[in-house]
């Protein structure tokens, strides 16, 4: 929260990097990654996002009061909105982490989904801010770097997944599915 008020060097850039949807989603994904099942991954994501939302709005209020003397102008309804959004996002992120762990072709787009979303969001923000660079010069600088880096990560993750799947497919016995199973395994609860 101190990043929003520039209370230490470089704070504003950290705020621009992690204070957007991509920062929250990356934290949610990393937390969910340790879940052994879809419900477990969803809970881990949710238990990361809910305290983060509470802390964000609490510290925003406290620091706004101390720095500006006015307190935060944000309505309590926004906290309710983001809490509901966290429930939906956590379920989606929980499912996404389970798909990424699959050793099937669905893991390719699943693995690239989050960095592709980050790249798209940063590219969109960069395009908008490029029209009026004085609107938010720090976010313009962050997005100028973030969108191509995230696009490169999405591409690299997809290529790594494809190589891993094709080398695994080539290594299995003729007539046997690469996973060793005779059926398509799409159960997200594993």
- Domain boundaries of the chain, sorted by first residue: 1-101, 108-173
pLDDT tens-digit map of 112-133: 999 999 999 999 999 999 998 8
Distance CA 185, CA 47 (A): 28
Neighbours of 126 (CB within 10 A): 19
| 8 A C-beta contact, residue 89 and residue 49 | yes
- pLDDT-wise least confident of 82-91, 114-123, 150-159, 179-188: 179-188
pLDDT tens-digit map of 140-163: 999 999 999 999 999 999 999 999
Contacts of 99 (CB under 8 A, 6+ apart): 106, 107, 110, 188
Report phi then psi at 160, rounded to 5. -60, -40
């Amino acid at each position: 929260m101190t990043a929003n008020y520039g209370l230490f060097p470089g704070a504003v850039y950290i705020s621009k990097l992690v204070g957007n949807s991509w920062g929250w989603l990356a934290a949610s994904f990393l937390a969910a990654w340790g879940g052994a099942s879809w419900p477990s991954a969803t809970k881990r994501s949710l238990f990361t996002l809910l305290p983060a939302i509470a802390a964000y709005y609490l510290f925003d209020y406290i620091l706004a009061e101390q720095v500006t003397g006015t307190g935060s102008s944000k309505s309590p309804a926004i906290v309710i909105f983001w809490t509901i959004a966290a429930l939906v996002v956590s379920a989606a992120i929980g499912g996404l982490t389970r798909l990424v762990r699959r050793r099937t072709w669905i893991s390719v787009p699943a693995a690239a989904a989050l960095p592709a979303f980050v790249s798209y969001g940063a590219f969109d923000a960069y395009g908008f801010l490029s029209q009026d660079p004085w609107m938010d010069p720090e976010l313009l600088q962050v997005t100028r770097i973030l969108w191509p880096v995230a696009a490169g990560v999405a591409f690299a993750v997809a290529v790594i997944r494809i190589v891993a799947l094709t080398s695994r497919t080539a290594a299995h016995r003729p007539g046997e599915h690469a996973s060793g199973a005779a059926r398509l395994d799409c159960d997200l609860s594993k």
